[in-house]
Amino acid sequence: MFSFDTFKDKRYWILLCPYLLILVVFSIVASSEMLANTLITYLLLLLYAASFWAIYHLWKYLGDKKKKK
């Protein structure tokens, strides 16, 4: 299930940089009341990580499909 080939993929690194930047900016800008509620914070982190992996795998699938044609 886990493979180190992901770290060799350019798509991973192209997506990771903006996602980390957005995460840092969000943590700085977010209100302390929002971050104090741990349930909302964990839910947002889970959705954020899920969206990253969904976009990465969709981009990889479409790129590989286009390469086969």
**In tens digits, what is the pLDDT along the chain, a chain of 69 residues?**
566 777 788 888 999 999 999 989 888 888 777 778 888 888 988 999 999 999 999 999 999 898 887
pTM for this structure?
Answer: 0.78
The number of C-alpha atoms within 13 Å of 33 and in the hemisphere containing its C-beta is 0
